[in-house]
């Protein structure tokens, strides 16, 4: 009798779960309020993912409080919330996420601190360094008007933190890129590369990619955003080395995601339109420093033209499944940033080897061919 009752209760829970959560067990539903295992909306924007010892860790910008438009950003609609910190969630199935709390917190009361609430902390990405056995958190650190344009680094011995902040820096000070031309070295009012040569290059939207040989690279929007850079990181993953290249020159790309497939490097990024969505871009390269060949908008289906109202943030390779990736993106709400939503889609490859992101109302790993 007791067993029968338990079975009925379990079926009942399964049946009413979609009504409460908006999704069935193990389902991804782009754009809904995605709740954690404690019943609260997941708060991890501009996020990145790490898989360690069979557990996935989702790191993101914890956005809370009032969204406002500071005077310094009025010309381009750069709304913001005060900086609170970086959040972390853990999961073993990618759909049910446990809140691990804030792993790097804001530092109120000290205006000179990078982590002061009035500053900007965006696009956190965590990588594991096997040699130092440390988890290294990379992030875009900035002033409210995005003029500082620096990378920040923090480390931890545990994936769920807490992380110790090491400081912020400008990449590759005093070094010219691998693909520099004589013209690039000429100072002029519009030559940002030369302007920033001594102080270090600007670093805004960013991601970190770890290659099969353990070498890690930082991809970041630079030179006031029109040009992206890719920099090799030091062996401990804490800094850039000075070996870097300019890529997508003058193409104004943000929100980079990088992954490898069939021995080639792929990138999916956005154009540069503040919080407003735009058409995603994709590209492929044989050498990580380029040349990169653009492959166009990978999205297909309704609203492919604006990445289904979203902006890329990470591409997750599924462990042990070389052809399977999840594309992660943010549906920003410019005037209510904490209520921004998530859009995850399965990434496919066309017969010609181009990345493709078909629209899905809802989907699950099993139904999309997971083994």
Q: In the window 137-196, what residues touch ligand DGJ (CB under 6 A)?
A: none
Q: In the window 200-239, what residues touch ligand DGJ (CB under 6 A)?
A: 205
Strands 311-317 and 325-331: antiparallel
* One residue of 9, 10, 72, 274 binding ligand DGJ per CB under 6 A: 274
**In the complex, which residue's CB is closest to ligand DGJ?**
274
* H helical segments located in the chain: 2-21, 192-195
d(CA 116, CA 75): 24
Query: Which x/- pattern over 298-317 shows residues binding ligand DGJ (rule: CB under 6 A)?
Result: -------------x------
d(CA 270, CA 299): 12
Instruction: Please say which residue, 12 or 72, places its beta carbon nearer to ligand DGJ.
Output: 72
| Main-chain phi, psi angles of 20, to 5 degrees | -85, -45
- 82 is a contact residue toward ligand DGJ (CB under 6 A): no
Neighbours of 50 (CB within 10 A): 20
Neighbours of 178 (CB within 10 A): 13
Residue 177: CB minimum distance to ligand DGJ, A: 23
Instruction: Please say which residue, 289 or 314, places its beta carbon nearer to ligand DGJ.
Output: 314
Instruction: Please say which residue, 67 or 364, places its beta carbon nearer to ligand DGJ.
Output: 67
Residue of 298, 284, 310 lying closest to 347 (CA atoms):
298
Task: Please name the residues in contact with 265: beta carbons below 8 A apart, sequence gap of 6 or more.
Answer: 209, 258, 259, 284, 285, 286, 287, 288, 292
Tokens at 178, concatenated: 């691998």
- 283 is a contact residue toward ligand DGJ (CB under 6 A): no
Question: How far is residue 16 CA from its own chain's centroid?
Answer: 33
Residue 311: CB minimum distance to ligand DGJ, A: 6
Matching residue, tokens 């399977």: 324
Instruction: Please say which residue, 43 or 311, places its beta carbon nearer to ligand DGJ.
Output: 311
Q: In the window 60-79, what residues touch ligand DGJ (CB under 6 A)?
A: 78
* One residue of 106, 137, 255, 310 binding ligand DGJ per CB under 6 A: 255
- 254 is a contact residue toward ligand DGJ (CB under 6 A): yes
Residue 82: CB minimum distance to ligand DGJ, A: 14
d(CA 134, CA 154): 10
Residue 7: CB minimum distance to ligand DGJ, A: 47
Residue 121: CB minimum distance to ligand DGJ, A: 10
Residue 120: CB minimum distance to ligand DGJ, A: 7
d(CA 84, CA 122): 11
Instruction: Please say which residue, 90 or 311, places its beta carbon nearer to ligand DGJ.
Output: 311
Matching residue, tokens 């040569």: 197
- 123 is a contact residue toward ligand DGJ (CB under 6 A): yes
d(CA 177, CA 182): 12
* Lateral strand order in the sheet of 150-156: 120-129, 134-142, 150-156, 164-169
Instruction: Please say which residue, 314 or 363, places its beta carbon nearer to ligand DGJ.
Output: 314
Residue of 281, 231, 230, 293 lying closest to 254 (CA atoms):
281
Residue 284: CB minimum distance to ligand DGJ, A: 22
Residue 79: CB minimum distance to ligand DGJ, A: 7
Q: How many residues bind ligand DGJ (CB under 6 A)?
A: 10
* One residue of 275, 327, 344, 363 binding ligand DGJ per CB under 6 A: 275
Positions that interact with ligand DGJ (CB under 6 A): 46, 78, 122-123, 205, 254-255, 274-275, 311
């Amino acid at each position: 009798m007791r067993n029968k009752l338990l079975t009925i209760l379990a079926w009942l829970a399964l049946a009413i779960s979609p009504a409460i959560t908006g999704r069935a067990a193990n389902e991804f539903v782009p754009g809904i309020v995605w709740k954690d295992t404690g019943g609260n909306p997941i708060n991890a924007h501009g996020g990145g993912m790490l898989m360690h010892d069979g557990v996935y860790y989702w790191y993101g910008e914890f956005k809370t409080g009032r969204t406002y438009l500071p005077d310094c950003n009025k010309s381009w609609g750069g709304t913001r919330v005060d900086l609170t910190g970086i959040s972390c969630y853990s999961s073993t199935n990618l759909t049910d996420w446990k809140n691990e709390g804030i792993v790097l917190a804001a530092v109120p009361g000290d205006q000179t601190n990078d982590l002061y609430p009035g500053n900007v902390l965006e696009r956190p990405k965590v990588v594991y360094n096997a040699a130092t056995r440390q988890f290294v958190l990379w992030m875009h650190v900035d002033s409210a008007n995005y003029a500082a344009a620096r990378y920040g680094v923090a480390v931890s011995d545990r994936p769920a933190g807490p992380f110790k902040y090491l400081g912020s820096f400008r990449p590759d000070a005093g070094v010219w890129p691998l693909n520099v031309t004589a013209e690039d070295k000429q100072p002029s009012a519009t030559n940002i590369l030369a302007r920033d040569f001594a102080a270090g290059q600007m670093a805004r939207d960013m991601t970190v990619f770890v290659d099969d040989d353990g070498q890690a690279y930082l991809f970041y929007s630079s030179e006031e955003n029109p040009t992206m850079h890719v920099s090799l990181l030091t062996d401990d993953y804490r800094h850039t080395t000075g070996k870097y290249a300019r890529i997508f020159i003058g193409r104004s790309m943000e929100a980079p995601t990088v992954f490898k497939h069939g021995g080639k490097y792929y990138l999916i990024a956005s154009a540069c339109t503040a919080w407003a969505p735009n058409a995603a871009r994709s590209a492929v390269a044989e050498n990580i420093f380029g040349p990169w060949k653009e492959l166009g908008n990978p999205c297909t289906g309704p609203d492919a033209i604006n990445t289904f109202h979203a902006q890329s943030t990470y591409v997750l390779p599924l462990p042990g499944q070389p052809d399977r990736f999840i594309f992660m993106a943010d549906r920003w709400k410019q005037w209510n940033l904490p209520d921004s939503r998530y859009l995850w889609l399965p990434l496919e490859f066309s017969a010609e080897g181009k990345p493709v992101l078909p629209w899905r109302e809802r989907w699950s790993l099993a139904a999309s061919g997971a083994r």
